[in-house]
Amino acid sequence: GGGDSVVTLLDYGAGNVRSVRNAIRFLGFDIKDVQTSEDIVNAKRLIFPGVGAFAAAMDVLNRNGLAEALCSYIESDQPFLGICLGLQLLFESSEEKGPVKGLGLIPGVVGRFDSSNGCRVPHIGWNALQIKDDSEILDDIGNRHVYFVHSYRAIPVIACLDVRTNDKGDLVVTKGDQYDVREHTKENEVRNLGKPVELAGQYYLDGADEVSFLNITGFRAFPLDDLLMLQILRYTSENVFVPLTVGGGIRDFTDGNGRYYSSLEVASEYFRSGADKISIGSDAVYAAEEFLKTGVKTGKSSLEQISRVYGNQAVVVSIDPRRVYLRNPDDVKFKATRMRNPGPNGEEYAWYQCTVNGGREGRPIGAYELAKAVEELGAGEILLNCIDCDGQGKGFDIDLIQMISDAVSIPVIASSGAGAVEHFSEVFSKTNASAALAAGIFHRKEVPIQSVKEHLLKEGIEVRI
Ligand code: 1PR
C-alpha cells in the first residue's frame, strides 16, 4: 500500500532489479516490496520488472498466489508498469522452453525472433529509437538510444576491467600481456591500473556501452567469500547506467565447512548486487566437453542452470583460446582455420585451444567446438578473447573472430588486441562480431572511448554517441 510517494515493486527473485530500484529512488519515490499477494491488492502503483525465463517466473507467481492478485490488480485498471518479462507474462503463453501458460490478460503468444534473416538472437545491445508519432514520452532519453534485448542493434563498445587482489590485499584493476598480469620487475607485483568503481564510473561517463568486470582469480578463490567484489558491483551499479557484466569463479562450490553452494546461488548474488549478466569461463569449458562426449544435456551445468532461471540473455560465455599452429588442418580433430599471417615456421593453419583457470591449463576442445556447444547449452552471448593477442595492441584476431562469429547465431563480442581506432572498424568490416571489447587502451588512456566511436561513425558503423 502506501501513500503518494510509494511504488510497489514485484521482485520475484530473478534478474537484476537493483537498477529499477535505483531508478525509482532517483525519481524520489519509496519502494514497497511485495511480500504477499495482499501487497499487490493494496498497491497504488505497481512495477513488475522481469528479467529471466518465462516458466521459472510463472512458477513463482503461481506458487505464492501472486498470479491471481496480479490479474485482479491489472483488471481493475490501476497503474502498472510491466518491464520486459514483466509485460510478457501478461500474454496467454510463451514459446520460451514451452509453450508455457501465461497470465492471459493480453491475447497472444510471446514468440521467438526469427534468426533466419541473419539477425542474431537474442539480440542484445544499444539502438536508436525511431518514434513514428509525436509522443513525447521518450523526450528525456537524450538522443533516444536505448538498450535492447531485441531485433536491431547498434555496435557496442565494451570496457573490460580485469580485477584481482594484489599482494597487499587490495582489489585492483589489472591488465596482462597474454594473460600475464605481473610487472617484470624484481618485486614481480600485480600491475595496478586503478580502482574498479572509479574506473567503471569514468568509462560510463566516457561513453562505454557496457562495462564488464572479470574477477580473474575467481577460479581459485570462491566469489561469495569475496565480499569486496560484491560491494564493487553495488557501488558501480549506482552510477553506471549501462549493462554490467561480471564473471570469474561461477561454479558449484563446497566451502571449508562442507556447505555446498550451487553456481546458481553464486550468480544470484551477483545479479542481486547489480549485475545484468554473468560470464562463465572455465566451468563452461568443462560443461561443453561433457556435452560433446555424451551428447546429453544434463541441465546441471552452471550454464544451463543459470540460463534456465535468468534467461539466455543473462549468460555470457567467456572463451580464452590460445593459437596452435598447424601445417595441415587435418592434423587435429578440432576445427582449424587458414591464417591471414602464417605462423613462426610458415604454418598456414591454426586451431584455437580452449584454456581454463586464466589460461593456465589447455583443454582438449577448440574454440569452435566450444562456441557451438555453449550455444546449445543456453549461452546468450560469447565473449571471445585470444590469449596470443591480449594486451599486444596489434589488432583483434580476425581469423578467430570470423570463424566463431560465422559458426554461431548468438552475438559474439570481439576481444583482445585493440590498439587503435582502426582495429575496431576492421573487426566489424571483416567479421560478424556484434560488439568489441577493449581493456588496455582505455586503462592506459591511449585511445578514449569517444574517439573509437567517432571513428566508427565516420566509417559508417552505427554507434551510440
Ligand atoms: O574461468 O569462470 O573463473 O572466469 C575467469 C574470467 O577471467 C574469464 O572470463 C577469463 O577470460 C578472465 N581471465 C582470467 N585470467 C585472466 C588474465 O588476464 N590473467 N582475463 C583473465 C581475461 C581478457 C580480456 C581482456 C581482453 C582485452 N581478460 O577480457 O580484457 O583480452 O584486453 P586488451 O584490450 O588489453 O588486449 P572463470
Name the residue at shortest CA distance from atom 10 of ligand 1: 358
Catalytic amino acids? 162, 320
Same domain, residue pair 78 and 184: no
Is the CB of 374 inside a 6 Å radius of any atom of ligand 1?
A: no
How many separate domains does the chain show? 2
Residue 465 lies in a domain: no
15 lines ligand 1 (CB under 6 A): no
Alpha-carbon gap, residue 122 to 111, rounded angstroms: 12
Q: Is beta strand 361-366 parallel, antiparallel or unpaired with respect to 349-356?
A: antiparallel
Q: Is the residue at 118 inside a domain?
A: no
- Asked if 379 and 452 sit in the same domain, the reply is yes
CATH number assigned to the domain comprising residue 31 = 3.40.50.880
Write out the chain's pLDDT in tens, 465 residues: 456 799 999 987 766 688 899 999 999 999 999 999 999 999 999 999 877 788 988 998 998 899 999 999 999 989 999 988 888 899 888 878 778 899 998 877 777 666 665 667 777 778 777 665 566 767 776 666 777 764 233 467 999 999 998 888 889 999 999 999 999 999 999 999 999 999 999 999 999 999 999 999 887 877 777 678 899 999 999 999 999 999 999 999 988 888 899 999 999 999 999 999 999 999 999 999 999 999 999 999 999 999 999 989 899 999 999 999 999 999 999 999 999 999 999 999 999 999 999 999 999 999 999 999 999 999 999 999 999 999 999 999 999 999 999 999 899 999 999 999 999 999 998 998 999 999 999 999 999 999 999 999 888 787 887
β-pairing verdict for 171-174 and 210-215? unpaired
Owning domain of residue 403: 157-458
Nearest CA to ligand 1 atom 31: 416
Residue 120 maps to a domain: no
Residue 177, domain CATH: 3.20.20.70
334 and 228, same structural domain?
yes
Give yes or no: residues 198 and 294 share one domain.
yes
Residue 21 lies in a domain: yes
* Distance (Å) from CA 51 to ligand 1 centroid: 26
Say yes or no: 429 and 352 in one domain: yes
Site to probe by mutation for ligand 1, drawn from 390, 446, 452 as the one with most ligand atoms within 8 Å of Cβ, is 390
CA 19 – ligand 1 centroid, Å: 26
Q: Are residues 95 and 163 in the same domain?
A: no
Nearest Cα neighbor of 49 from 379, 378, 411, 310 is: 310
* 107 shares its domain with 164: no
Q: Report CA(429)–ligand 1 centroid distance (Å).
A: 24
Q: In terms of domains, do 217 and 102 share one?
A: no
Q: How large is the greatest C-alpha to C-alpha distance in the chain, in angstroms?
A: 75
Between CA 260 and CA 283 the distance in angstroms is 16
d(CA 309, CA 339): 40
Domain boundary among the residues 79, 112, 145 is at 112
- From 77, 112, 147, the end of a domain falls on 112
Q: Would you say the CB of residue 218 lies under 6 angstroms from ligand 1?
A: yes
Tell me what pLDDT residue 117 has.
57
Q: State which of 216, 246, 356 you would mutate to test the pocket of ligand 1, scoring each by most atoms of that ligand within 8 A of its C-beta.
A: 216
Interface predicted TM-score (ipTM) = 0.98
Could you identify the atom of ligand 1 that is nearest to the CA of residue 249?
A: 3
Tell whether 121 is covered by a domain: no
State whether the beta carbon of 247 lies less than 6 angstroms from ligand 1: yes
Ligand 1 pocket test: which of 164, 172, 318 has the largest number of ligand atoms within 8 Å of its C-beta?
318
Q: What is the CA(355)–ligand 1 centre distance, in A?
A: 11
Cβ 394 vs Cβ 417: under 8 Å: yes
Of 112, 137, 165, the one marking the end of a domain is 112
Asked whether residue 122 is assigned to any structural domain, the reply reads no
Mark whether 71 and 213 lie in a shared domain: no
**How many alpha carbons lie under 13 Å from residue 403 in its C-beta half-sphere?**
25
> Do 108 and 168 fall into the same domain?
no
* Statement to judge: residues 84 and 186 lie in one domain: no
Q: What radius of gyration do the chain's Cα atoms show?
A: 22
Asked if residue 143 belongs to a domain, the reply is no
Residues 108, 163: one domain? no
Q: Does 149 reside within a domain?
A: no
